């Protein structure tokens, strides 16, 4: 799909059309308000893919921190937290 920029007023007028284009064509729309990028309209499939990716990246970071601190005594870790 394509990525397009659209003003908030126009996005409001064409909301149904934008939803269909996001869903069926996998197009993405960056919505601007007052000249600033404020939101995005993307397909639910793309959104779910990003959610999965973010979760996988967070879990990888946790595993890496766990592996680095595996041999550190618990008391030392707790002292770092306090």
pLDDT 10s digits, 9-61 = 999 999 999 999 999 999 999 999 999 999 999 999 999 999 999 999 999 99
DSSP-derived letter for residue 72 is: S
Decide if pLDDT at 74 tops 90: no
CB atoms near residue 33 (< 10 Å):
12
């Amino acid at each position: 799909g394509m990525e397009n920029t659209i003003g908030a007023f126009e996005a409001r007028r064409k909301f149904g059309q934008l939803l269909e284009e996001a869903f069926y064509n996998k197009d993405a729309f960056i919505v601007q308000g007052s000249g600033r990028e404020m939101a995005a309209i993307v397909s639910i499939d793309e959104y779910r893919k990003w959610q999965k990716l973010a979760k996988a990246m967070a879990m990888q970071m946790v595993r890496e921190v766990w592996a680095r601190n595996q041999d550190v005594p618990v008391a030392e870790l707790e002292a770092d937290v306090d």
